[in-house]
Amino acid sequence: MNSAKADSAFNKRTIAAALANYIDAGSIVAGSAGLSMWVSYLKLSDSQIGLLGAFSANAISAAVGALLGGYLADKVGRKAVYTNSMLVYALGICLVLFGMNFPMLLSGYMIIGISVGADITASWTIIAENAPKRNRARHCGVAQVAWAAGAVVVLMLSVLVGDLGLLGNKIVFAHLLVIALITYILRIRLPESEAWKDQSKQPQAEGAVLVNKTSYLNLLKPTFLKKIMFLMGVYLIWNLAAGVMGFFMPYIYQQVGGVSANMANLLQMGLFIFTGLGVAFIFMPFADKYRKTVFGICAFMAVIGWSLFLMPVQGMPILLLFIVAMGINNGAGQQANYQLWASELFPTEYRASAQGLMFFLVRISIGVWSLFVPMIMTNFGIGFMAAILLGCVTASMIIGLVFAPNTSGKSLEEIQEDLYGTPAAKQGNDRKIM
């Protein structure tokens, strides 16, 4: 009975935290889908369009939010960040819904991005800390399923309300507002992470706020820096390909397969559907026991996927094979395994900060890289771009296979003892009760 109750509590916490991924993906896709409508409505210039793209939920604002959210999640608690971020997100959505000029729209995009970035770091941390040690991949996989679901639902809604123009895009954003408010209600009733609370040697006084003296400078120490370099070798390098796929793929579909814009959107929806299937039927059932095997096979699917664009004959069959291979890779390859490793390889008091720093580096890198992607494809062709991305995913796969830690089936405390000798809470930490 107690076990059933505990499992039920884990499920509630996991689902409530995983909704961050639904909102993240939904915000990116909704912003992209409605961009042309806002351009027409507000008569936006090229520089204004560039600012919207640069400060959207997929780039700089999310990066800044992750840096801030990770630090605060370690400093004052996971719950404070992942609960209040939903209210900040709601404010950003309202600015978009009632936007009458460019400053309102840009402010809305920026606030959405900041809240999403902060939420992701706190949510991924609390999922890992609440998950049973033998089912951590299963619980973390819920977040990846939610990400795929957010993208698919928003794409479907965008198609259904497409004839309504800008009003249709606002309806899509309004549905994200409803999800955010539901998420806030779910989260406010849930407890703080036990792992975070257990860091303190002293009991927490009633109504007191626990504060941890964490610092990003501490993450530059060799012990932590090695782990950050490993994770960035896997995740950041892979994301250079994933960033192209997320934003430029419909264009590539049309150029390579000669398909219409609507068909390109349907293919992109298919990619996200296979992403969800990859998480649900490969990563969640098998990654807890066969982590490295799952990573290796699914990382190799990205190698196959980008190799397809180097074949002499192109067309719809190539595109269909691509979305299957890349969907499986997205669902059970670098992204899902990074979420696990990023939570496992750092002690509790730096867990969210480390994820915030790495998320910041990844999103900033995608933003800078995206500036050069159109120029490369225009001047050198899609095949040349595919060769670059093939090199990225191959390097990411090799780094993961060579340096992946053996953490399956171990609790976060056991992993911490293996890596650092003894849990940080036993060493004495810098926290104080205020």
Res 64: pLDDT:
94
Q: What is the mean pLDDT of residues 115-132?
A: 90
267 vs 286: CA distance, rounded Å:
27
- Decide which of 349 and 342 is more confident: 342
Residue-wise pLDDT tens digits, 387-416: 999 999 999 999 999 999 988 888 888 998
Q: How many residues make up the chain in this entry?
A: 434
- Decide which of 370 and 71 is more confident: 71
Share of the chain above pLDDT 90, in %: 50
pTM value is: 0.84
Domains of the chain in sequence order: 10-194+207-433 (1.20.1250.20)
Q: What is the 3-state secondary structure (H, E, C) of 55-86?
A: CCCCCHHHHHHHHHHHHHHHHCCHHHHHHHHH
Buried b or exposed e, range 193-206, using 16+ CB within 10 angstroms: bebbbebeeeeeee
Contacts of 216-223 spanning 24+ positions with Cβ under 8 A: 216/67, 216/71, 216/353, 216/357, 218/350, 219/350, 219/353, 219/354, 219/357, 223/420
Res 354: pLDDT:
94
Residue 14 has pLDDT above 90, yes or no: no
Residue 58 has pLDDT above 80, yes or no: no
Res 1: pLDDT:
37
